[in-house]
Amino acid sequence: MDYISRWLPFPFEHLPFVLLVFAIAFTLHEFAHAYLAYRFGDDTAYRQGRVTLNPLAHFDVLGTILLLIAGFGWAKPVPVMRSKFRYPRLMGVVVSAAGPLSNLLLAFVGVAAETVLLSTAALEQAPRLAQAAVHTFLMYFIGLNGFLFFFNLLPFPPLDGYRIVEDVVPRHVRARLSQYEQWGVFVFLLLVFIPPLNRLVIGRLFDWNTEVIDWFRSLMSVWQG
């Protein structure tokens, strides 16, 4: 197991927790996109069975494999036709932002659950193995959902941040962006796999994530006290 763990981004014994957290995070993320697009008048995702909380509907084989071997991955993208929206640009921003915001909400829910469990000592009588399992799950649930919020807001295709930029900038800028969109994926991969760039950008995302999670915990402390 130690040999396998050296080649994985997560400890081997933590993989069930990681996969469960990503299944929840990706499912709600894509559901948020699909549901709002449907409510705004685009039934494309609905007709493809994507307005659902069934993880299998959002499962992507390559994204899951990369998740296990590289520490990042993706679910099956939700198709969105902005031309069907009454206000394409405004509603496009809302639909794009809904995914990352769903992950931020999950991170907050995780912090709230953690706070309640600690303040009520609800797990005090549980077996040590169960306590460790809950602690590990919440650690990944809070940390990974918070990170996904920031990560998906990066302004590189195919991430949600890029789609938001597309809908915010003037039309002539959007047309120019589309000319270079094919290269955005390579920039994105460079950020992930080139260590100095990874530390500069991805490392900063982890810092912001820690700050936000700490802020959530302080909010819960104020609520308790």
Mean of pLDDT over the chain: 89
* pLDDT (tens digit per residue) in 186-205: 777 777 778 887 788 888 98
User: Are 52 and 78 a contacting pair, CB within 8 Å?
Assistant: no
Nearest to 147 by CA among 199, 103, 189: 103
Neighbour count for residue 85 (Cβ, 10 Å):
19
Of 92 and 172, the one with more pLDDT: 92
The per-residue pLDDT for 182 is 76
pLDDT of residue 122: 78
152 CB burial (10 A radius; 0-12, 13-18, 19+): buried
DSSP state of 56: G
Whether the pLDDT of residue 2 is over 60: the answer is no
Q: What percent of the chain has pLDDT over 90?
A: 58
> Structure pTM?
0.91
Amino acid identity of residue 214, one-letter, is D
Quickly state the pLDDT bin for 63 (edges 50, 70, 90): confident
- Residue in the structure block whose two tokens are 């590990």: 136
More confident residue, 71 or 142: 142
Categorize the per-residue pLDDT at 103 as very low, low, confident or very high, splitting at 50, 70 and 90: very high
Cβ contact 57:105 at 8 Å? no
pLDDT score at 10: 83
Give me the mean pLDDT over the 109-115 stretch.
95
Picking from 91, 94, 72, 73, the residue whose alpha carbon sits closest to that of residue 82 is 91
pLDDT at 6: 63
pLDDT of residue 147 exceeding 90, the answer is yes
Q: Catalytic positions, please? A: 30
The stretch 31-39 carries a mean pLDDT of 98
pLDDT at 165 (0 to 100)? 93
pLDDT score for 225: 63
pLDDT at position 54: 96
Asked whether the predicted pLDDT for residue 1 surpasses 60, the reply is no
Cα torsion 121, 125, 126, 128 to 10°: value is 90
